[in-house]
Each structure stands twice: as C-alpha cells, then as structure tokens.
Amino acid sequence: MILALLLARARVPVTLLEAHRDFNRDFRGDSLHPYTLELLDQLGLADDLLRLPHFRARYFKFHTPRGTLITADYGHLRSRFNCVVLMPQARLLDFLAERALRLPDFELRLGARVAGLLEADGRVVGARCRTPEGRMDVKGAVVVGADGRYSDVRRLAGMPLRDLGASGDLLWFRLPRRPEDPPEADLDLYFGRDHYVGLLGGPDSWQVGYSLPKGGWAAARQAGVEPIRAFLIAHVPWLADRVGELRDFAQTTLLRVELARVDSWHRPGLLLIGDAAHVISPTGGNGLLMAVQDAVAAANRLIPALRSGAGVGDEVLAQIQADRDPAIRVVQAQQVRIEQRQAAAREAGRSLTPPSFLRWVLVIPGVRARAARANAYGPWPPHFDMRLLAG
C-alpha cells in the first residue's frame, strides 16, 4: 500500500491487487513507529491519520517476577512523534486506500487474488488474478510481490524461502478493556517461567498474545484454556477479574511465528518486498516498519526508472535489495539470537524471563533512549526522496 501510494503520488500509474474484499483482518501488526509517522507527515497525512482513534505507547516494558523493567523510552526521541502509535492495521490501510483513491494514477482492485504470473521472454510482465467476476490479467513494467509471509507471488515465481528458525508460536485472543485498567497502552511483555504474554491495547479490548513452544498448539488445545487463565492470574493480576471471559480454546487464534528470507528478492520484471521477501518475527514489533522501509527504498529506485521509459532492469531491482538487505539481516540476526535463547531455555527447563544482567544494563544513562531510537527507525532507515514528487 505504501509503495503504491508513493508511486501514484509521483504520477506513476499503479494497480494494487488485494486478495480480500476489505482490509478488515484481526491480529496483525498494529504498531506505527516514529519512522512511519514521520514519512506520513512528509506526505501530509499524519495529522489526519492521528485524528482516528489510537493509543500512544511511550515505553517498552518487561514485567518479570522480580519487577518491571523499562527497556525502551520513546519519550526522549527528537521527533514530533516520540511514541509508538497503536492502531489496528485495518484502520491504517482503509485510511491510506481512501487517500490513494483520490489520486488519478492509483487503482485498487479488492478481491483480486494473484494466482499466476504472466511471462514473456523469460521476464515477468504481469499477474493473473482470480476475482469474483472471473479471471483478470494485469500487465505492468514491474510486478511487486508485497503479499506477506505466505506470499503466492514468491511461490509462483519459484523463489525458495530459507528458514532461520523460530522457537515459538503465539495464541491471540481478546479480553475486555475496563475504564479502571492501566490507562496507557504501552508495549508490555509479562514473563513467567514457561510462557510470556504480550498485551496490546484497543478501544474496548486487549489483544493478548500467549506464547507457546514451536509446534505446541496441539498440546495447548488438549490442555484447554485453564493454564492460560492461571498464567494471567499469576502474572497479569489486574486481568484476573475477567479471565473467565476466555471460556473456550476456540476463542484463540494460532499465529505461527516464522523467521525466514529469500536469498534473492528479484527475478527479471519481479520484486518481492516486506514479509514476502523476509518474514520477521513479532519480537520487537518491527515487521511493519521493515515493510514500510522496503517500500520507501523501492519507490526511490522505481520512480526514476519507471519515469525514464527505459524499463526496470535487473540492476535496479538488485539495487533495491542491496539497499535493504543489510538492515534486514541485522534485525533478523537479533531475532534469531532471541529465538535461540528461548529455545535453549525451554530445552534446559530454565525460565523464559530475560537475563538478570539486563537490569544492570538498563541503569546505564541513555540506554533506554538508545534502545527506543534503534527500534523507532531500525538500522540504516531509508529516506524517501521528496524531490521525486515534484516532477
């Protein structure tokens, strides 16, 4: 969506194909980092977006049996947006789509699922979609697969995904929010011995993510909701008065955590970005940020190439990967380390709580601000070249 918006703003005709008939899906990345908010501000969209209901998280907090640790403080960022904004992804996408549809060069086809690639002379020249009205072919100078972790485009192009190893999965469910609940919707992780939960605030409910060991879903279903309720009562006591609302395992949704990437993001005429190119785990909540930054890097290279009329050569697509690959590798390497630590703890029967030296690291002046900055912008954040919108 971000790439399509940037292309259309630069007067490059673009067709966005979306498999679903709306953007209304649950349990997705809902965090908007300062980088993303600054980008939307540059485009004159941030103020209107922030008129929609949202929560501002200032801190990233770990709650452990030995106390609460603030691991990142966004309040000291030198940015108009010194927080992480939590907003359902569906609301963000609806907003962006509505704004993009005002542009003459933007076309949105909802309910259009890419089911094939059109090729000519060894080059991808378009996509074949299934729509409720039947088959539709869309041709273009370049096809960008931004279709997420289970990317059809990636599969159709025969681009294998390399698994980097994730040690856990998450069960998501909702519990009601009450007026007397902690008012801030910070980014909170509550650690216990064998599990942790992540909490995300919504207008009338909390999204709760309960960790499971990889492949632990069948055993969890067998055990039912009782162990989950007991965990919440023990570790998130202010939710104890409503854990009874989680009555049935069917109220939970399994989200498989994955960590993987393709070696090459491109083939002639085709580029993968976002989760399609590299699946990011929810650790750090930066999957959306990485996808947005891929879109910016792609726009910076694709707009001049598409405008030049010379077409989008392999070297342009390779350059986009070269612009983004180092950052993705750094982020995924951090996530692999966390996954390995959790796997080792599970195997050795040790607690999943963060290491105790973290408590001492966090007393170093400025360390929380630095952690917030690293998370807010990611490594080597690309800057959108606003001159591309001028002409």
Ligand X SMILES: Cc1cc2nc3c(=O)[nH]c(=O)nc-3n(C[C@H](O)[C@H](O)[C@H](O)COP(=O)(O)OP(=O)(O)OC[C@H]3O[C@@H](n4cnc5c(N)ncnc54)[C@H](O)[C@@H]3O)c2cc1C
Residues forming the site for ligand X (CB under 6 A): 17-20, 28-31, 113-114, 146-148, 152, 170, 255, 274-276, 280, 282, 285-289, 291
- Min dist. Cβ of residue 364 to ligand X (A): 27
Cα–Cα distance between 381 and 209 in angstroms, integer?
Answer: 28
Min. distance of Cβ 331 from ligand X in angstroms? 11
Which residues, in sequence order, are CB contacts of 194 under 8 Å at separation 6+? 346, 351, 352
**Alpha-carbon separation of residue 258 from 163, 263, 333 (angstroms):** 8, 16, 13
Q: Cβ closer to ligand X: 79 or 359?
A: 79
| Residue number with CB closer to ligand X (175 or 289) | 289
| 160, two tokens | 């294998």
Nearer to ligand X, 221 or 359 (CB): 221
Nearer to ligand X, 117 or 388 (CB): 117
- Compute φ and ψ for 5, nearest 5 degrees: -65, -45
Q: Is 310 exposed, middle or buried (0-12, 13-18, 19+ CB in 10 A)?
A: exposed
Which of 317, 331, 229, 215 shows the shortest CA–CA distance to 273? 317
Q: Which residues pair with 131 in a beta bridge?
A: 134
Burial class (CB in 10 A: 0-12, 13-18, 19+), 110: middle
Residue 168 CB, nearest approach to ligand X (Å): 10
**What letter does residue 148 receive in the DSSP assignment?**
-
Q: How far apart are CA 240 and CA 216, in angstroms?
A: 24
Closest Cα partner for 84 from 98, 95, 96, 71? 71
Based on CB atoms, which residue is closest to ligand X, 11 or 45? 45
Residue among 257 and 388 whose Cβ is closer to ligand X: 257
> Looking up tokens 């990233």, which residue turns up?
60
Q: What are phi and psi of 125, to 5 degrees?
A: -125, 5
State the minimum distance, in angstroms, from the CB of residue 266 to ligand X: 15
Compute the least distance from the CB of residue 225 to ligand X, in Å: 19
Rounded to a whole number of angstroms, the minimum distance from the CB of residue 21 to ligand X is 10
User: Alpha-carbon dihedral of residues 155, 214, 321, 26, nearest 10 degrees?
Assistant: 80
Residue 58 neighbours by CB under 8 Å, 6+ apart: 73, 74, 75, 82, 83, 184, 186
Nearest approach, Cβ of residue 335 and ligand X (Å) = 11
Nearer to ligand X, 19 or 77 (CB): 19
* Enclosing H/E stretch for 334: helix 314-348
Of 152 and 323, the one with the shorter C-beta distance to ligand X is: 152
Which CB, 52 or 233, lies closer to ligand X?
Answer: 52
Question: Minimum distance between the CB of residue 23 and ligand X, rounded to whole angstroms?
Answer: 7
- Beta carbons of 74 and 34 less than 8 angstroms apart: yes
Q: Write down how long the chain is.
A: 391
Q: Please tell me whether residue 352 adopts helix, strand or coil conformation.
A: coil
* Least Å from the CB of residue 207 to ligand X: 9
Residue 244 phi/psi, 5-degree rounding, is -65, -15
> Residue 28 or residue 242: which is nearer to ligand X going by CB?
28
| Residue 288 C-beta: closest distance to ligand X, Å | 3
